[in-house]
Amino acid sequence: MKASNIKTVGILTSGGDAPGLNAAIRALCISGKNNYGMKFIGVRNGYRGLIDNDTFKMDEIDLDPLISQGGTILGTSRVKPFKNPVPDPKTGLLPVEAIKETFKKNKMDALVCLGGNGTNTTASLLAEAGFNVIGMPKTIDNDIVGTDETFGFHTAIDVATAGIESIRTTARSHSRCMVVEIMGHKVGWLGLYSGIAGNADVILLPEIPYDIKKIGKYLKAKKAAGQNSFIVACSEGALDVAEGKLSKKEFKKVREGMAQSVGFRVAKEIEAETGIETRTSVLGYTQRGGNPAPYDMLLATKLGNAAADFLANKQFGNLVAVKGGQIVATPLNVVAGVVKAIPMDDVMLKTGRDLGICFGD
């Protein structure tokens, strides 16, 4: 067993659930215990549990089945301790003060936070406040800066692609255009990858404002050439040219005023522009739920194992990231507050264009 001054470590999951969380938790606990003699404290329901000291000993549970289990055994929430902090009415403590008490009561030497942009932004703020924190990249959106991959992404691709393929049979049977709405508010990695894998005719992404006239022209040309059914892979954050010119505040106001999600609007626009009968199918939480695909089991396990080494080596204030197939440390202050959008020279985007897929521009 290797020597380490880090003896007791807290673990929490925050933000949206994603396949691979339990596999990462399992690998971290097993590697940390076997290699360094670490003990782990589970924190229930994300940062909410960290504030409330809602904790338990991880050695009380059977870790082995977790590698293939979806969701998170720790529970999750979207509580952000640094956003509009107010004293607790019972204790009078501010969130950060309460977190210090949780560390003391559990004799925690460090904390591992598994999550996406919001989770790791909070982790960065905790690090700045003096806590020993390590982040891990979980999100189906694959939008965390400083890492090539996030666990959950590949499983979501599988689910979204399977959804497109299922909906294609209905499109063919009814000679329709089907708009398949895919998760991705701010970035379109999931829509891009599943759209190409599902052989979509049109892919609409938050990064590329669409022109309905160009989409209509493209679909009408395909229909004239003999194609009778069409698939539009539409990210939930897709926007048109006019929306692309709005400020963030203006855009938010427009979206709040929409009666339905953008996929339904796109379907109406396509039908009005082309005369092709068009329907919408929203894949929704099926993309985030369920058990992880083997790729995500392996990725999460690799990252969980590496996180134990990060702890032992006191590489605090970092995200356990992947670059060029290698595990690297990305500073949390680099990750905080930003998202990894699809660059316009991305190889998969270029591939889609070369294949003749319409991106609405």
Burial 335-351 (b: 16+ CB within 10 A, else e): bbeebbbbeeeeeebee
Separation between Cα atoms, residue 96 and residue 98, nearest integer Å: 5
Separation between Cα atoms, residue 325 and residue 148, nearest integer Å: 8
Contact 319, 137 (CB under 8 A): yes
Contact 134, 113 (CB under 8 A): yes
Catalytic residue among 17, 141, 240, 296: 141
Q: H-helix or E-strand containing 233?
A: strand 230-235
Active site residue 211: no
With vertex at residue 171, the alpha carbon angle to CA 168 and CA 174, rounded to the nearest 5 degrees, is: 150
Contact 190, 233 (CB under 8 A): no
Separation between Cα atoms, residue 91 and residue 87, nearest integer Å: 8
The two beta strands, 39-43 and 55-57, are antiparallel
Tokens for 118, please give them. Answer: 């919001």
SS3 230: strand
- Give me the active site residues, please: 141
